[in-house]
């Protein structure tokens, strides 16, 4: 059997060929941003599971280190790589872990006339961002997103983290499920607006600050997707050299 050659810049992490934490996060945010654009402009709803996978990479401690010589793999979320990274917010310099730069959100559908006249494929309203800069990234995924009745009629409150887990692992995600709980089905039935709403909130909070950081640190050549960078593993992300 013929295998693809392992690129020289491969750093043994499962989600990116980029060798810098900031670049890994930029890659993931770029996938979310482009997926939202494809849904809005072309109705490609098959990119909603793609958004959820990127959200899992960013927020949930389900990634594993693959360093040689370590018997036990460490679990981490992609954003946790920035915990000691310092960011300026409202004239205060804070550790990223402490920065309240994520919004309070709600699942709000766009008005019917707005959908009919603009994009009939995009359901999430701009009003879904209720209040900006109120949560850290860990607090953001702990906020309640929807209430669902279980099989016994008992009302359950589900947070963003739970919705990500369900939509990745059970709703067209990594594993085929022949049996689903009622609450799982109810979340999967809302996949469109959940993925679009969380995706919008994350892009509005993180994309420009991360991009500005790359530019201010003279890493803007990495932003040019025509020179080797790609969302496809068949085209290799260039290894970043800080001396260039």
Q: What is the mean pLDDT of the chain?
A: 81
Q: What is the structure's pLDDT at 93?
A: 87
Query: For the range 121-125, what are the long-range contacts, defined as Cβ-Cβ under 8 Å and sequence gap of 24 or more?
Result: 121/39, 121/40, 121/41, 121/42, 121/43, 121/45, 122/36, 122/39, 122/40, 122/196, 123/192, 123/193, 123/196, 124/193, 124/196, 124/197, 124/200
Q: What is the structure's pLDDT at 7?
A: 45
The answer to whether residue 38 is domain-embedded is: yes
Q: How far apart are CA 164 and CA 211, in angstroms?
A: 25
The answer to whether residue 149 is domain-embedded is: yes
The angle subtended at Cα 26 by Cα 34 and Cα 31, nearest 5°, is 25
**Which one-letter DSSP state was computed for residue 124?**
B
Q: What is the structure's pLDDT at 19?
A: 61
The two tokens of residue 154 are: 């008992």
pLDDT, tens digit, for every residue of 130-144? 999 999 999 999 999
The answer to whether residue 8 is domain-embedded is: no
Report the run of H or E that residue 27 belongs to, with start and end: helix 21-42
pLDDT, tens digit, for every residue of 82-103? 998 888 777 888 899 999 999 9
The answer to whether residue 240 is domain-embedded is: no
The answer to whether residue 43 is domain-embedded is: yes
pLDDT band at 175 (very low <50, low <70, confident <90, very high): low
Residues near 113 by Cβ (< 8 Å), separated by ≥ 6?
none
Q: How far apart are CA 158 and CA 193, in angstroms?
A: 15
Residue found under tokens 């060798």: 19
Q: How far apart are CA 229 and CA 220, in angstroms?
A: 12
The answer to whether residue 7 is domain-embedded is: no
Range of the domain at 177: 21-223
The answer to whether residue 123 is domain-embedded is: yes
Q: What b/e readout covers 37-67, taking b as 16+ CB neighbours within 10 angstroms?
A: ebbbeeeebebbbbbbbbbbbbbbeebeeee
- Report which listed range, 70-84, 169-183, 229-243, is most confident: 70-84
The answer to whether residue 164 is domain-embedded is: yes
Domain count, the chain: 1
- Report which listed range, 23-32, 112-121, 227-236, is most confident: 23-32
Instruction: Report the pLDDT averaged over residues 69-77.
Output: 74
């Amino acid at each position: 059997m013929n295998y693809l050659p392992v690129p020289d810049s491969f750093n043994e992490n499962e989600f990116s060929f980029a060798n810098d934490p900031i670049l890994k996060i930029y890659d993931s945010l770029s996938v979310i941003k482009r997926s939202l654009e494809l849904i809005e402009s072309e109705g490609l709803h098959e990119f909603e599971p793609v958004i959820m996978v990127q959200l899992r990479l960013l927020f949930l401690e389900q990634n594993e280190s693959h360093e040689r010589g370590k018997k036990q793999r460490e679990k981490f979320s992609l954003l946790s790589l920035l915990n000691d990274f310092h960011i300026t917010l409202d004239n205060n310099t804070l550790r990223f872990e402490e920065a309240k730069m994520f919004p309070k959100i709600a699942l709000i559908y766009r008005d019917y006339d707005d959908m009919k006249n603009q994009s009939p494929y995009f359901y999430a309203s701009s009003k879904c961002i209720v209040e900006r800069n109120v949560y850290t990234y860990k607090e953001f995924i702990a906020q309640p997103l929807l209430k669902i009745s279980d099989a016994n009629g008992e009302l359950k409150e589900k947070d963003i983290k739970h919705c990500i887990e369900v939509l990745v692992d059970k709703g067209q995600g990594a594993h085929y499920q022949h049996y689903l709980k009622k609450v799982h089905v109810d979340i999967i039935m809302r996949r469109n607006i959940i993925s679009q709403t969380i995706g919008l909130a994350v892009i509005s909070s993180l994309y420009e600050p991360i991009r500005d950081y790359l530019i201010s640190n003279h890493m803007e050549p990495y932003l040019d997707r025509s020179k080797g960078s790609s969302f496809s593993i068949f085209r290799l992300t260039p290894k970043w050299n800080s001396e260039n």
